[in-house]
Amino acid sequence: MRLLVTGGAGFIGANFVQDAVRDGASVTVLDALTYAGSRESLAPVADRIRLVEGDVCDAALVSSLTADADAVVHFAAETHVDNALADPAPFVQSNVVGTFTVLEAVRRHGVRLHHISTDEVYGDLPLDDPARFTENTPYNPSSPYSSTKAAADLLVRAWVRSYGVHATLSNCSNNYGPYQHVEKFIPRQITNVLTGRRPKLYGAGANVRDWIHVDDHNAAVRRILADGKAGQTYLIGAQCEQNNLTVMRTLLRLMGRDPDDFDHVTDRAGHDLRYAIDPSTLTDELGWKPVHTDFEDGLRNTIDWYRANESWWGPLKEQVEANYQERGQ
Ligand code: NAD
Ligand code: TDX
């Protein structure tokens, strides 16, 4: 299969591309190589892919690459909630206009699309309620990031209904694993410890996230690409709800530190309380199940990866922490 993978030099995209190449796919990556994208994340398969540095909003480029593909997997986006709060403009451009551009290209060339989205489009859930997100939960995004992802999802749904575009969508919970940018919660805390900084927890740390290993997310995407129903949305999650305080203390314990050796910092504006996914459509229809079900084991392997790959994340760390410091975080 010839795949065009947008955002394939980012965290989830690079892990996806590495797996897809090992499975025998022929892969072209389109990535703008923003601060979040990196050629090094594709180094293990560099001689077996085509990496095109370009913007997903460039209609002529996206159209010509799409014409040569059997399917497009669309990961490219601005992804960090704190950055969106500081400056939402690139989020509207890359996430909304970028998805529009991809949709017009797949419509023109009759190419299959899988659109990657997030559970954050559903807003948040109360802490003291067992309810989880399903495919029928109404959209209710809270942040500039999640509202642009929601807008993108709605464009995809409209292009399916209005133009018969052959697209599937997936909304996944919080990913962790190798190659995640050090701006995000888990790698930030690991690399804070590794560089002698104190880890930083927003507010009291009561907010709950539903964690999934990136390889389980990507395995689900491959199942959907193979057998997903056109027009269908699939929720991807590994049923691993944890509050941030617990994750912080677990990381510190696994790294041999005192579990309370961290700072409480200014909370995120509009901070979503809880995300939780009911993945039963995916498990019942497509038989997908997560493999990395031991979260502590997954965290231990992730810590080991960051310990062994300082050359990948080291050059990013100073700038990220300078930005956080400016925001009091
Ligand atoms: P990331 O920030 O690590 O990577 C994003 C990639 O997209 C980068 O390589 C960047 O250079 C590229 N990009 C950004 N704007 C672009 C543009 N205009 N043109 C071309 N390339 C551009 O993000 P990630 O965590 O790998 O997320 C990938 C996708 O998965 C996103 O759509 C995100 O919304 C979604 N998602 C992420 C998570 C998570 O926990 N990280 C969970 C659910 C869904
Ligand atoms: O230093 C920190 N301290 C802290 O307490 C950081 C960076 C985050 N947090 C908190 C905020 C969140 O409650 O940890 C939680 C996770 O934060 P992020 O890693 O920024 O993830 P989140 O905001 O939940 O969004 C992520 O999951 C859904 C991805 O960044 C999105 O792209 C994805 O759609």
- CA distance linking residue 247 with residue 254, whole number of Å: 10
297 annotated active-site: no
pLDDT of residue 136: 96
Q: What pLDDT, in 10s, does the model give residues 163-208? A: 999 999 999 999 999 999 999 999 999 999 999 999 999 999 999 9
Distance 79 CA to ligand 1 centre (A): 5
User: CATH 3.30.70.270: does it fit domain 2-181+212-240+278-292?
Assistant: no
Kindly give, in sequence order, each residue whose CB lies less than 8 Å from that of residue 303, ignoring residues fewer than 6 positions away: 190, 251, 254, 255
Q: Using alpha carbons only, how large is the chain's radius of gyration in Å? A: 19
Q: Indicate the SS3 state at residue 29.
A: strand
Distance 280 CA to ligand 2 centre (A): 24
Rounded to whole angstroms, the maximal C-alpha distance in the chain is 57
Distance 282 CA to ligand 1 centre (A): 22
pLDDT of residue 265: 97
Q: Position 13: which residue type?
A: G
> By C-alpha distance, which of 1, 317, 27 is closest to 181?
317
Q: Indicate the SS3 state at residue 112.
A: strand
Out of 185, 188, 191, mutate this one to test ligand 2's pocket (max ligand atoms within 8 Å of CB): namely: 185
Q: HSE of 58 in the Cβ direction (CA atoms, 13 Å)?
A: 13
- Tally Cβ neighbours within 10 Å of residue 52: 17
Distance 323 CA to ligand 1 centre (A): 19
Taking the CA atoms of 65, 120, 34 and 219 in sequence, report the sign of the dihedral they define: negative
- DSSP-derived secondary structure for 278-307: --HHHHHHH----S---HHHHHHHHHHHHH
Q: Looking at ligand 1, which residue's alpha carbon is closest to its atom 14?
A: 77
pLDDT in tens, the chain (329 residues): 999 999 999 999 999 999 999 999 999 999 999 999 999 999 999 999 999 999 999 999 999 999 999 999 999 999 999 999 999 999 999 999 999 999 999 999 999 999 999 999 999 999 988 999 999 999 999 999 999 999 999 999 999 999 999 999 999 999 999 999 999 999 999 999 999 999 999 999 999 999 999 999 999 999 999 999 999 999 999 999 999 999 999 999 999 999 999 999 999 999 999 999 999 999 999 999 999 999 999 999 999 999 999 999 999 999 999 999 999 99
Q: Looking at ligand 1, which residue's alpha carbon is closest to its atom 15?
A: 77
> By C-alpha distance, which of 116, 117, 123 is closest to 274?
123
Tokens of 198: 């104190």
202 annotated active-site: no
Bridge partners of 117? 171
pLDDT of residue 122: 98
- CA distance linking residue 27 with residue 146, whole number of Å: 28
Q: Looking at ligand 2, which residue's alpha carbon is closest to its atom 7?
A: 185
275 φ/ψ sector (left φ>0, alpha ψ -120 to 50, else beta)? beta
Residue bearing tokens 């929720």: 235
Out of 11, 182, 235, mutate this one to test ligand 1's pocket (max ligand atoms within 8 Å of CB): namely: 11
pLDDT of residue 22: 97
120 annotated active-site: yes
pLDDT of residue 182: 98
Contact 80, 320 (CB under 8 A): no
For the CA of 171, the nearest ligand = 1
pTM (predicted TM-score): 0.99
Q: Indicate the SS3 state at residue 217.
A: helix
Kindly give, in sequence order, each residue whose CB lies less than 8 Å from that of residue 150, ignoring residues fewer than 6 positions away: 121, 139, 141
